[in-house]
Structure 1
């Protein structure tokens, strides 16, 4: 009940971001970047994260960080986090400077809902080597949620972190923060996890996911989020619930990609070859599927658009076959002359 109300409120206030079949977008969440100490869960996957972000930047993706990018509940001093992960923030700045970075706040970086906090910590950065200040993410405006809307079909993909309605991480987040900062933070150093977290408590995680599904069915809107740390991709055109997973798996991170009208779940993972050399590989775990396969409304405009696109694809295939036949005939003619 409460989850439905909180998600609906966020949906009504969400900013619309348009995309089309030429757009390239990557959704990642729950990196939980810390201060580089033993309790920093992100540290073990930092190289994978940097490699993946480099690939997405070079391939013209827009990076949407779906909450919990920083672990502010444990480490409230952002200077320590920035100094621990300078390579990560240098890449994020490159996305931001190209207007290809969208930030959604979650429960572990909920301070980002305060624009004064954002302006104080994200506007300017300090280079300790040159001893100079420089513009960082100046003008960053984190959002609670966004609605990805197809420019031609009006299909929507509601994107939010997903802690809304999860009482310990929503309306009682302050008390959760106190327990993490002054208790669980120190246990993390010895590998002991907080059992109250939905990512570590199976029953709570399943309950949260059931609430997501109820909202999707009731409001007929596809939902993409993070929070639970469990990646999800609809199977056999079931309820359109997508989850990015997280950046703190052992030796891997997951993401959702939306490119050329296709959506897929991917994993970036560290492997070792026969000679003992470590390398990072991207794998498709689910999909790719056409994004329109998850449109719960299917209005007439969508039907017309899909018919037009199918006609265009058929035309392109015919042209390719004709060009292939023409090339083959030319080659046969040359061979015949010899």
Structure 2
């Protein structure tokens, strides 16, 4: 009941962000950037994160960070975090400067709900090399939730971190912060995780996901979130629950992409080739699926738009097949011609 109330309140206050089939948006969460010490879990996936983020920047994506970007419950001094991950924040600033960065706060970076904290830590930065202050992300306005709304169909995607209604990480977050800062932080150095965390406690994780699924069915709104660290892409389109996963897997990170009117779950992972060189590869884990396949409403006017989109995709598919057949025929003719020339030479 409390989860339903918290989600509904967040939905009613959420900022609307419009998108269409030409929009490119990537959702990532739970990076938990720390101070670079042994207890900083982000260190093991930092290089993958930087590579993926750079690819998204170069390809014109808007970056939506869906909460827990920083680990403020363990490291309250943001200067230490920024100095430990200067390459990451240099990239994020590039997104921000081009109005392509949307920040949602979660339970581990809940301090971002305080405008004075945001202004003090994100407004100005200090360059230790030049010993000068400069504007960092001045005017950053973190949100608890946003509603992505399609410009033409009015289909909505509700985006929120996912801790709402999870009592230890929501209404009792302050006491959880004390236990992490003065107890579990030091156990992280030896690889011991907090068993109360939903990312480590299967029963709590399933309970959270069950409560969110109930809200989705009752309110008929697709939901994108993080928090549990378990990526999700709906098999049953009647319950459109998406989870970004996290940015602190041992050798990979996951993300949700929204491009060309389709949504997909992807993973960026480190591999080693036959010569022993490491490389990072992007893989599609689920999808792509047309976003309208998860539209739980049937308003007037949407049916006509969806029919038009279906015809466009069918036409594109036919053209691609025709081009492929033509290419195959050209290759066959070229092969026959070369064989004939060889016979003539003989």
- 2:66 alignment partner in structure 1: 66
8 Å Cα contact 2:146-2:159 kept in structure 1: yes
SS of the equivalent of 1:178 reads: helix
Deviations 1:238-272 (A, max 9, x none): 41000000001111100000000010000001111
TM-score, normalization by structure 1: 0.94
Distance 2:324 2:2 in 1: 59
Q: Once the 2 structures are TM-superposed, how far is the Cα of residue 298 of structure 1 from its aligned partner?
A: 2.4
- 1:277 alignment partner in structure 2: 277
SS of the equivalent of 1:211 reads: helix
Q: Once the 2 structures are TM-superposed, how far is the Cα of residue 143 of structure 1 from its aligned partner?
A: 0.1
Q: Once the 2 structures are TM-superposed, how far is the Cα of residue 322 of structure 1 from its aligned partner?
A: 8.5
8 Å Cα contact 2:105-2:143 kept in structure 1: yes
Deviations 1:163-200 (A, max 9, x none): 00000000000000000000000000000000110001
8 Å Cα contact 2:238-2:296 kept in structure 1: no
- 1:202 alignment partner in structure 2: 202
- 1:117 alignment partner in structure 2: 117
Deviations 1:46-71 (A, max 9, x none): 00000000000000000000000000
| Structure 2 unpaired stretches of 5+ | 338-346
Deviations 1:18-61 (A, max 9, x none): 00000000000000000000000001100000000000000000
Greater Cα offset, 19-28 or 128-137: 128-137
- 1:2 alignment partner in structure 2: 2
- 1:246 alignment partner in structure 2: 246
Q: Once the 2 structures are TM-superposed, how far is the Cα of residue 130 of structure 1 from its aligned partner?
A: 1.3
Distance 1:280 1:322 in 2: 34
Matches within 5 A, 1:1-338: 1-314=1-314
Distance 2:23 2:203 in 1: 37
Q: Once the 2 structures are TM-superposed, how far is the Cα of residue 134 of structure 1 from its aligned partner?
A: 1.0
8 Å Cα contact 2:217-2:238 kept in structure 1: no
TM-score, normalization by structure 2: 0.92
Greater Cα offset, 236-245 or 317-326: 317-326
8 Å Cα contact 2:68-2:105 kept in structure 1: yes
- 2:340 alignment partner in structure 1: none
Distance 1:310 1:165, change over 3 A: same
Deviations 1:210-241 (A, max 9, x none): 00000001101011100000000001424100
Distance 1:71 1:306, change over 3 A: same
Distance 1:51 1:321, change over 3 A: closer
